[in-house]
Amino acid sequence: MLEYRLVAFDLDGTLLQGEPSWSLLHRYFGTLDKAEKAHEMYIKGEISYEQFMYTDLSLWPKPLHRSTLESILLKAKLRPEAKYVVEKLKKAGMKIAIVTAALDLLANRIGKLLNVDFVYSNKIGFDERGYYDGKVYPLVEPLKKDLILKSLASNLSIDLRNTIAVGDNVQDESFLRIAGLSFVIGDRKLAQKIKAVYIEDLREILDYLKL
């Protein structure tokens, strides 16, 4: 078996369980239906991801304080086995990254909780009083997560064959395909399509690696 040195996890549906953070926010604001239409336009290539982010956030009530978003995102549920799995992978000498299109307000909190090495996520701007200032920073495009993994591996002088990617749906497909080993949690059809290892619990990664 190859020596794996870097593991990149998606966040929603992978390290987290239950309703995605994107849905949690829109459900709270009552904008879920309109948001789904914009998301579909992005998936079809009708708008850029930056345009999608601007459209997405334009649906939310203003003024919008950072603390409101943070309180909603506290409802996001970490998989009970996630911390144990990350700790075991780190003890085995692997670097751990989160690569997600979720907001950094959530991703950074989970990254700190799990003590991961790198967090890549999307950001929005806030003024000096903590209110959303209308700016977006689309740093992780869902359909192009492979670019993040390639860049990180290169910066760490790690061959892609020595990387692992873990995701849960078709939006993770780009980085699942380029990793040396890929795990798909909860979507058996996707796993079969891209020849990834299907799992239903993150601890199965440890079983597969014999850790």
Residues 120 and 163 in one domain: yes
In this model, does residue 35 exceed pLDDT 90? Answer: no
Q: Give the strand pairing for 132-137 and 118-126.
A: antiparallel
pLDDT for res 32 = 87
The predicted model gives 49-76 an average pLDDT of: 93
Residues 61 and 36 in one domain: yes
Residues 182 and 102 in one domain: yes
Residues 122 and 152 in one domain: yes
Range of the domain at 178: 6-17+78-127+136-209
Residues 87 and 152 in one domain: yes
Last residue of a domain, one of 53, 73, 93: 73
Residues 176 and 146 in one domain: yes
The answer to whether residue 27 sits within a structural domain is: yes
The answer to whether residue 195 sits within a structural domain is: yes
CATH number for 162: 3.40.50.1000
Residues 88 and 50 in one domain: no
pLDDT for res 1 = 57
Distance from C-alpha of 84 to C-alpha of 121, rounded to nearest angstrom: 23
Residues 150 and 163 in one domain: yes
The answer to whether residue 1 sits within a structural domain is: no
Give pTM, 2 decimals.
0.95
Q: Which residue has the tokens 């059809």?
A: 189
Least confident of 42-46, 183-187, 189-193: 42-46
Residues 108 and 199 in one domain: yes
pLDDT for res 70 = 96
Residues 195 and 93 in one domain: yes
Average pLDDT of every residue of the chain: 95
Total of domains in the chain: 2
DSSP string covering the chain: -----EEEE-IIIIIEESS-HHHHHHHHHT-HHHHHHHHHHHHTTSS-HHHHHHHHHHTS-SS-BHHHHHHHHTT-EE-TTHHHHHHHHHHTT-EEEEEEEEEHHHHHHHHHHHT-SEEEEEEEEE-TTSBEEEEEE----GGGHHHHHHHHHHHTT--GGGEEEEESSGGGHHHHHHSSEEEEES-HHHHHHHTPEEESSTHHHHHHHT-
